Amino acid sequence: MGSFVDLKEAVSRLSEKVLTVAATDLPPAMVKALGEADGRERVPAAKAQLETILTNINISKQKCNSICQDPGIPVFDVKIGSKFPLDFDIEAILTKVTADVTKNVPLRQNICHPLTKVNTKTNTGYNLPYIFYKYLYGVDYLEITGMLRGGGSAFRSGVYSLAPTAPRLEGIKKLVFDHVAMAGGIPCPPTVVGVGLGGTPDIALYLAFEALRRSPVGGSHPDADMAKLEEALFVELNKTGIGTMGLGGDTTVLGVHIEYVGSHIATHPVAIAFSCWPNRYATARLYADGRVEWITHEQEVAK
52: DSSP letter: H
CATH of the domain at 127: 3.30.1330
For residue 192, what is the enclosing H or E element? strand 191-197
Mean of the pLDDT values across residues 122-147? 96
- Is residue 43 domain-resident? no
Predicted local distance difference test score (pLDDT) of residue 303: 56
What's the chain's average pLDDT?
94
Question: What are the pLDDT digits (tens) for 22-60?
Answer: 999 999 999 999 999 999 999 999 999 999 999 999 999
Does 194 lie in the same domain as 126? no
Does 111 lie in the same domain as 240? no
Does 93 lie in the same domain as 120? yes
What is this structure's pTM?
0.93
175 CB burial (10 A radius; 0-12, 13-18, 19+) = buried
User: Which residues are registered as beta bridge partners of 260?
Assistant: 197
Q: Is the dihedral of CA 192, 197, 199, 201 positive or negative?
A: positive
Does 236 lie in the same domain as 203? yes
Please tell me the total count of domains within the chain. Answer: 2
CA distances from 234 to 46, 92, 213, 298 (A): 18, 41, 17, 28
What domain range includes position 166?
154-274
Does 19 lie in the same domain as 107? yes
- Is residue 44 domain-resident? no
CA distances from 172 to 105, 169, 177 (A): 41, 5, 8
**Residues 6 or more apart whose Cβ sits within 8 Å of residue 87:** 4
Does 254 lie in the same domain as 194? yes
Does 201 lie in the same domain as 231? yes
Among 84-88, 111-115, 149-153, the range scoring the smallest mean pLDDT is: 149-153
Does 297 lie in the same domain as 252? no
Give the confidence band of 5 by pLDDT, cuts at 50, 70, 90. very low
Instruction: Map residue 145 onto helix, strand or coil.
Output: strand
**Residues 6 or more apart whose Cβ sits within 8 Å of residue 104:** 20
**Residues 6 or more apart whose Cβ sits within 8 Å of residue 154:** 72, 73, 209, 273, 274
User: Which residue, 51, 48, 46, is CA-closest to 238?
Assistant: 46
Does 191 lie in the same domain as 161? yes
- Is residue 73 domain-resident? yes
Predicted local distance difference test score (pLDDT) of residue 234: 98
Does 231 lie in the same domain as 290? no
Does 95 lie in the same domain as 9? yes
Predicted local distance difference test score (pLDDT) of residue 198: 95
Mean of the pLDDT values across residues 92-103? 98
Q: Report yes or no: 132 and 281 within 8 Å, Cβ to Cβ.
A: no
Instruction: Map residue 256 onto helix, strand or coil.
Output: strand
Exposure string of 78-117, with b = 16+ CB inside 10 Å and e = fewer, is bbbbeebebeeebeebbbebbbbbbeebebeebbeeeeee
- Is residue 180 domain-resident? yes
Does 205 lie in the same domain as 95? no
- Is residue 54 domain-resident? no
